[in-house]
Structure 1
Amino acid sequence: MTGTSAGLAAVRLAAREAVSRGRELRIVHAFTWSLPRLDQHYDRARRTASQVVDAAVATAQRSTPGVRVQGQLVDGPADRLLVRLSRTAELLVLGDDGLATLPWLPSGSVLVQTVARAWCPVLVSRGPRPQAGPILAAVDGSRCSLLGLRQAAEEGARRNVGVVVAHVVERPGPAAEAAGREILARSVEAVPELVDYRVRLLAGAPAATLVRASGRARVTVLGPRGEHDAGLLGSVARAVLRQAAGPTLFAHGSSVPAPRTPVARPDPSPALAP
């Protein structure tokens, strides 16, 4: 974490997540130093970094009474450290680093590298506190989006809120809408633990449409890459990461839901929504 307002917002969100999951919160600050350790500024810089950790621990304890928390100052590049820690963590929580104020998304940033390469889900905080509303899960038929839907189902059950399963049709028309409804149907059938949900077929540019929809969601869940994306982050994930109106959960994990025998589901033919 960092000592910025975005970093402390992430700490508060992480503290609530830790308590709701019955887990200990581990606050980690990466410390890097390129000069020899005998440099006169080294001790001062390390003390400052330790103070950042102490302030974050105090913030977590003040914001969420009862949270079990420990702080740690670790040497090494932050992106490598976070990816390594994600192998054993249940969840990584990071601040948004003010990405919405930048004209583009820097691929080399710690946040982008972690969201793209982590082994566990990554929750990116945004704003002082998550708003009320359902979990929004974006699906496009890819394996990443199915994993995201499974994690959205888990989030909805844990928070006792419903899940909105959304697919965006970029160019509305009978064929495209039928294909979109098929993607929605296959997606919900692949996740048996998804119980409290409704499906929505949205129309428009996928990235901008999901960014707008995120303004009505408690958490937006999606995969870091879509059906046709092969880069570090998919184009939709990049836009949502930079501009989403609330916390965004990027799905990671080794298990993808397997297809199952179709069963009757509510709202089988969603109306097209703008």
Structure 2
Amino acid sequence: MPNPSPSPVVVGVTGTSAGLAAVRLAAREAVSRGRELRIVHAFAWSHPRLDQDYDRARRAASQVVDAAVATAQRSTPGVRVQGQLVDGPADRVLLRLSRTAELLVLGDDDLATLPWLPSGSVLVQTVARAWCPVLVARGPRPQAGPILAAVDGSRCSLLALRQAAEEGARRNVGVVVAHVVEEPGPAAEAAGRDVLARAVEAVPELVDYRTRLLTGSPAATLVRASGRARVTVLGPRGVHAAGLLGSVARTVLRRAAGPTLFAHGGSIPARRTPPALRRTGTALAR
């Protein structure tokens, strides 16, 4: 097997339909980024030499990888793809691979049908702790529309805005920079506009964008807004973060209407005055 290329797009698969949806999305991402697609299935077995079912289970796991590779090649002709069965617990395998990946893609595994978000799940652990951005697939194919970037004034949301700017430039679509205030009123709206202004000032590479000030419950409001977005981008934790994921990120992870990109990675650029060529505007929606 050839050595994997540097900074591939990595997708984790488990044999589910959600995993295959993630493979199709990851294949398109790999081609658009000019990267190799690496399909990974983590295989953990306690005592392989003492268990007569080990060989059968390993063959079944290899078939999961083979089916995912075939899906990628069938859905996206021209994709450079490599499949690999990796020994170890899935969360540890994915977190290790995220150190050198450009992007990690995972399926949602029908999270919206669960009454709560299990903190110990591989998806939650990876979204919260990865070293590179994590794209969670949802639906058969992303719809047309802008990139939606949620900002709240935290450094994590500024990183999300920077990655949203990169996504918009690569896809040649605009970015909607959104901030949600819970209660309408002049003071709250003025503070919200200030959050938006400081966010776009801090990300000078953001060029084609508009700002939106939304009102309502932040999590539910962003879930509704995600229905009109090609991809929703946010940080895994906000200003008042506690635990693995912030409360807004947990809800968006479970209920977003389309693919969601959780920001991880490089540092936040220093503030400087936005270039005059930027297109800006603010809309208030209740």
TM-score scaled to structure 1, two decimals? 0.97
| 1:250 maps to 2:262 | yes
Partner SS for 2:49: coil
Q: Distance in 1 between matches of 2:197 and 2:152?
A: 11
Which digits, 9 at most, give the CA deviation of each residue in 1:142-190, with x for residues without a partner?
A: 0000000000000000000000000001011111100000000000011
Task: List aligned pairs for 1:55-134, cutoff 5 A.
Answer: 55-134=67-146
| 1:240 maps to 2:227 | no
| 1:174 maps to 2:186 | yes
- Within the candidate set 167, 190, 206, 1:194 is matched to 206
Give the root-mean-square deviation of aligned CA atoms: 1.1
Deviation at 1:261, TM superposition (A): 2.9
Report the count of equivalent residues.
Answer: 273
Name whichever of 206-215 and 248-257 sits farther off: 248-257
Q: Distance in 1 between matches of 2:270 and 2:246?
A: 23
Partner SS for 2:248: helix
> Would the aligned equivalents of 1:207 and 1:240 in 2 still touch at CA under 8 Å?
yes
Residues 66 and 267 from structure 1, CA distance in 2 versus in 1: closer, same or farther, beyond 3 angstroms? closer
Aligned partner of 1:35 in structure 2 is 47
Deviation at 1:135, TM superposition (A): 0.2
Aligned partner of 1:148 in structure 2 is 160
Deviation at 1:255, TM superposition (A): 1.2
> Would the aligned equivalents of 2:215 and 2:221 in 1 still touch at CA under 8 Å?
yes
Partner SS for 1:198: strand
Deviation at 1:271, TM superposition (A): 3.4
Deviation at 1:260, TM superposition (A): 1.3
Aligned partner of 1:21 in structure 2 is 33
Deviation at 1:237, TM superposition (A): 0.2
Letter in 2 for 1:182: D
Letter in 1 for 2:261: L
Aligned partner of 1:163 in structure 2 is 175
Return 5+ residue gaps in structure 1 as ranges. none
Q: Distance in 1 between matches of 2:173 and 2:48?
A: 52
Q: Distance in 1 between matches of 2:229 and 2:71?
A: 25
Q: Distance in 2 between matches of 1:172 and 1:68?
A: 50
> Would the aligned equivalents of 1:189 and 1:263 in 2 still touch at CA under 8 Å?
no
Q: Distance in 2 between matches of 1:232 and 1:104?
A: 15
- Within the candidate set 220, 224, 229, 2:241 is matched to 229
Q: Which runs of 4+ in 1 moved over 6 A?
A: none
Which digits, 9 at most, give the CA deviation of each residue in 1:103-123, with x for residues without a partner?
A: 000000000000000000000
Which digits, 9 at most, give the CA deviation of each residue in 1:77-127, with x for residues without a partner?
A: 000111110000000000001100000000000000000000000000000
Letter in 2 for 1:163: V
- Tell me the percent identity: 89
TM-score scaled to structure 2, two decimals? 0.93
Partner SS for 1:194: coil
Q: Distance in 2 between matches of 1:57 and 1:257?
A: 37
- Within the candidate set 57, 61, 71, 1:49 is matched to 61
Which digits, 9 at most, give the CA deviation of each residue in 1:223-270, with x for residues without a partner?
A: 0000111310000000000000000000001311221135665445x2
Q: Distance in 2 between matches of 1:51 and 1:272?
A: 51
| 1:219 maps to 2:255 | no
Return 5+ residue gaps in structure 2 as ranges. 1-12
